[in-house]
Amino acid sequence: MADPVLVVHGGAWAIPDDMVEAHLNGVRNAMAAGWRVLESGGTALDAVEEAVVIMEDDETFDAGRGSFLNRDGKVQLDAFIMDGATLRGGGVGCVERIANPIRAARKILGDSPHVYFVAEGAERFATEHGIPLCRNEDLIIPREIERLREFQARAADAKVDLFAPTISHDTVGAVALDTEGSIAAATSTGGTLNKAPGGWRLVTDRMWMLRGQPDRRRVDHRLGRADHEACVGQVGADRVATGSLPEWVAAEAINYLKDRVNGHGGMILLDARGRFGIAHNTRAWLGRLRPHSMRVTGSSEEVISVSR
């Protein structure tokens, strides 16, 4: 029987000072929800889903209600979940009427032969499987209307990088190891501020897993952009599979991302022994981890809040 581990993150970007506490509270709440699942003997898959749902419901984050708006002033959401025990995954992209896209992603993982649904097809799948739809207006908040207005006003006068670390991205996610030794990961995002409608690949948040021998399973949950970061994620996961410490691999991978393509973002790595690695090259990354050896209340629970 394995000792459970849960790592939750609330994004890697230049989080404004007046939003840091809200982010910390959000990841604390997400951690509490996920850990309740693991502590009661639940699966890693259930734990990461519940953790992400909490952050989708919290308008602090770029996931679910309160997400960044696209160029047309709408919320478009993406989510993905993966089960390391089966290597099954499920995801949705460009959905505008699902408040908790991670729920739809989980349904796809469990109930569909397909892996990914987008836009209207994803929303149709959701309704057919008991997930209610909402109005897009229900996902939009005044803070993001004003943020988009200010961004577009600046962009009219000068070329602005959609992927600048001061702008993007506040994707959320979680990785977990349960008592059966299985690993799962989940992620959810509203993407980049002012992205083109349908531009779900403008900001990618990818997960890589392998299941071979029990000690070779690992997960990489990485925030980044474009396919260069996808390669970095794969390399990181492969390195952990050979026995390298996740802590070292994560730092090395993010350094390579910066040196090779001037990329920014964060990475969390977890292997089947419960060893984890966390690295980022943005001004702030907010997350929380709870190994079994740390009791679940009070200051003994480690909080990660790194600023540069």
Catalytic residues: 171
Whole-angstrom distance, CA of residue 58 vs CA of residue 246: 30
CA atoms within 13 A on the CB side of 251: 5
Alpha helices for 129-173 (secondary structure H): 142-157
Which helix (DSSP H) or strand (DSSP E) does residue 21 occupy? helix 20-39
Quote the radius of gyration of the chain (alpha carbons, Å): 18
- Among 3, 50, 45, 5, which Cα is nearest to 29's? 50
Packed helices 44-57 and 20-39: angle between N→C axes, nearest 10 degrees: 150
DSSP state letters, 73-139: S---EEEEEEETTTTEEEEEEEESS-S-HHHHHHHHHHH-S-SEEEHHHHHHHHHHTTPPP--GGGG
